[in-house]
Amino acid sequence: MNSAFDAGQMAGRLRDAASQVLETMFFAGTAPVEEASPAVLDGPAVALRFHGAATGSLSLATDAATAAMLAENFYGMGAGADEAQNVVSELANMVCGNLLSHLDTQSIFCLDAPHPEPAEDWPLSGARALLQVESGLLALHFQFQSNGESAL
């Protein structure tokens, strides 16, 4: 798999993948956002690694109200903090799978289980995207890695 994408191009693909998953699986409308303070992302934040034809990671963070809304939409009923955390982890799986399947339709990727990782711990390199989800925010980070170094 050719993992030579520029960060701007990858950020657009990341936004598209997240929007598609949010709209189809969570019944949530989205819009791109240019900037926001990390302080408003007071909810669950997760990261997962993938490997196969390429190696890298996807990270995702949101605010608590958006996480609760996504959990309610996903489960079809009220949800608590644990359900919100689980749904944000599942959202990361879905977005990563969607993105990778659009980048390379022929390869097989293995996604590791998402784990909590605060947005302030995300690498500086890689592609970043920010989406408005209903009345809240969703931040995403994606990068390919080559020999332990970011390739994006």
**Percentage above 90 pLDDT, the chain:** 70
1 assigned to some structural domain: no
CATH of the domain at 22: 3.40.1550.10
Asked whether residue 151 is assigned to any structural domain, the reply reads: no
Instruction: Taking residues 22-39, report their average pLDDT.
Output: 84
Residue 119 confidence (pLDDT) = 86
Our count of domains for the chain comes to 1
Question: What are 81-139's pLDDT values in tens digits?
Answer: 899 999 999 999 999 999 999 999 899 999 999 999 998 888 888 999 999 999 899 99
6 by Cβ neighbours in 10 Å (0-12 / 13-18 / 19+) ranks as exposed
